[in-house]
């Protein structure tokens, strides 16, 4: 159960993940030990998933953002749903093959499509190779549709999650 102090801690951390425990205790007017124990509890309960630098993909040379929607052939009797297995394989390949775009997110979804991939490509050639050469190597991909992002209006990087 999250109380007001937990909510205030999360709110501050979203705005500044590098704030020290001492400074957080100071701004919240609470003992440092209280803040440390609350942080430990929020981390162990997975309310806080981690801390990391958020890097701008464009600064790393990824200039094209796209959403790739996939329809996947279902494999009956598999130990893992075919959608999950395929998404995991694509992520693995993306992380390990330099010529593939970076897959930032992959979700199994309801509706007309089974998987939504959020991908960042260095250029149109890399995205095209992913769509035309790489995806057809997976026999479970039945159909794909790609939407190239023209402009990001708001992303999770720009906004904080409402805590209260």
Instruction: Give the highest mean pLDDT range of 35-39, 55-59, 155-159.
Output: 35-39
pLDDT per residue as tens digits for the range 81-93: 899 999 999 999 9
Among candidate residues 57, 59, 151, 138, the one with its CA nearest the CA of residue 103:
57
Topology classification of domain 57-148: Alpha-Beta Plaits (3.30.70)
Bridge pairing between strands 64-72 and 115-121? antiparallel
Mean pLDDT estimate for the chain: 93
In b/e form, how buried is each residue of 70-98, taking b as 16+ CB within 10 angstroms? Answer: bebeeeeeeeeebbebbbeebbebbeeee
Q: Where in the chain is the domain with CATH 1.10.10.10?
A: 4-44
pTM here is: 0.85
- Alpha carbon distance 122, 128 (integer Å): 11
Phi first, then psi, for residue 128 (nearest 5°) are -60, -45
Which structure tokens are listed for 16? Answer: 């500044």
- Listed in order, the ranges of the chain carrying CATH 3.30.70.920 are 57-148
**What DSSP string describes 76-99?**
TT-SS-HHHHHHHHHHHHHHH-TT
Q: What is the CATH number of domain 4-44?
A: 1.10.10.10
Residue 104 CB coordination number (10 Å): 14
Which pLDDT score, from 0 to 100, does residue 37 have?
96
């Amino acid at each position: 159960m999250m109380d007001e102090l937990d909510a205030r801690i999360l709110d501050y951390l979203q705005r500044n993940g590098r704030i020290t425990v001492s400074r957080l205790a100071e701004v919240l007017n609470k003992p440092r030990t209280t803040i440390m124990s609350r942080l430990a509890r929020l981390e162990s309960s997975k309310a806080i998933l981690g801390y990391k630098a958020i890097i701008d993909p464009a600064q790393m040379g990824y200039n094209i953002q796209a959403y790739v929607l996939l329809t996947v052939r279902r494999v009956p009797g598999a130990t893992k749903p075919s959608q999950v297995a395929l998404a995991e394989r694509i992520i693995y390949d993306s992380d390990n093959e330099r010529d593939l775009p970076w897959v930032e997110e992959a979700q199994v979804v309801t509706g007309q499509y089974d998987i939504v991939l959020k991908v960042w490509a260095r250029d149109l050639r890399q995205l095209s190779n992913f769509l035309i050469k790489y995806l057809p190597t997976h026999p479970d991909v039945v159909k794909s549709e790609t939407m190239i992002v023209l402009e990001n209006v708001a992303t999770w990087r720009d906004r904080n999650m409402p805590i209260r």
